[in-house]
A and B are shown apart, each in its own frame.
Chain A
Amino acid sequence: MNDIYYLYGAYGIMISLYAMWAKQMFGRTKELSERLNTAASISKSQLDIEDDCAE
Chain B
Amino acid sequence: MTLSTLILAWTYAPSVDTDAMNAPNAQKIFYWHVPSAWSSFLAFTTLFIGSLAWFWKRSEWGWKWHCAGAEVGLLFGLMVITSGPIWGQAEWERAWDWTDVRLNTYLILTALSAFLVLGRRSQPDGEDTRDTFAAVGLFGFVLVPLTAVASTLWQRSHPGAVVIGNDGGMAQEMAQVFLFGLLAFSFLSVGMLRLHIHIVGIEIELEQKMTEFDDKVVE
Interface residues of A (CB under 8 A from B): 1, 3-4, 6-7, 9-11, 13-14, 17-18, 21, 25, 28-29, 32, 35-36, 39, 42-43, 46
Contact = CB atoms under 8 A, between A and B. Distances in A.
What interface size band does chain B fall in? 20 to 34
Contact of A14 (B79, B195, B209): B79
A21 B75 contact: yes
A32 B206 contact: yes
B26 to A, nearest CB: 4
Given A6-B86, A36-B206, A43 B213 contact: yes
A39 B199 contact: no
A39 B202 contact: no
Contacts of A1: 23-25
B80 to A, nearest CB: 9
B28 A7 contact: yes
Contacts, number: 71
Given A6-B89, A13-B79, 4 more contacts: A3-B90, A6-B87, A18-B75, A43-B213
Contact of A17 (B82, B86, B216): B82
B40 interface: no
Nearest to A15: B6
